[in-house]
Amino acid sequence: MIRARLAEAQLALMLLTRLPAGRLGGPIPGLGASAWAFPLAGLAVGAGAAGGFWVAASFLPLGLAALVALAAQIALTGALHEDGLADCADGFWGGHTSDRRLEIMRDSRIGSYGVLALILSVLLRWQALVILAEQSFAAALIALVTIAMLSRIAPVLLLAFMPPARSDGLGHAAQAVAWPVLVASVLIALGPGLLAAGSVFHLALIVGGQLLVVMTLARLAQRWIGGQTGDVLGAGQQLAEIAGLLVFVALI
């Protein structure tokens, strides 16, 4: 039992980060079974970004230090989620049929919608971190870690409640997310989130903002491409992270 859980956590790290996670020995767990550990991968990414922010802020202005934190975050994930956001932006608004949208999303080239989505994502997160750090540097560090964990519930929710839009790819391979896996991922992220938010009410506002944008994405994906894909999962994480940081700023 413990060995299986460790293998699932290892697979989550291998899938969602570029951190060295070793090699999987024995039976390889399913991606859906590993979804409970997605917030743990977020913990590793958020902690790395917070560490980069803390070090950079010791000799750089807060604005530049916040950019270093985002660069560390992107490096730790290999821009996996940013790639999904850009592909979704290009596909959703660049095509007129489901098949055409899916074709555009699979294309490795990036279009104007994707570029603009990435620019807005980086700018919103950067400014949120700068404002948080100006009010309380500790709050900015805490937000980096906790929002990184909370935002990785989004892919789990999309996998649990949406059908795959394709017969192949990550979204199809990881479609089986059982209720215990979903509940475990939520509980793992909500604990640190409650400590960071300071109250159940504040945590509810942060999570509520994240759910709102993820539900909007889910509705668009269901209507325009017939379900979720790996790109939709990545876009969900990005939108949840942006929404979480913005609500955090509003609360501060």
Q: Which of 56-70, 141-155, 157-171, 228-242 comes out lowest in average pLDDT?
A: 157-171
3 state SS of 94: helix
Per-residue model confidence (pLDDT) at position 100: 94
pTM over the 0.75 mark: yes
> Which pLDDT does position 2 carry in this prediction?
76
For the cut 80, the answer to whether the pLDDT of residue 147 exceeds it is yes
pLDDT tens for residues 89-116? 999 999 889 999 999 999 889 999 999 9
Q: What is the pLDDT of residue 175?
A: 56
Q: Identify the band that residue 173 occupies on the pLDDT scale cut at 50, 70 and 90.
A: low
Q: Where are the domains of the chain?
A: 36-251
Q: What was the pLDDT predicted at 138?
A: 92
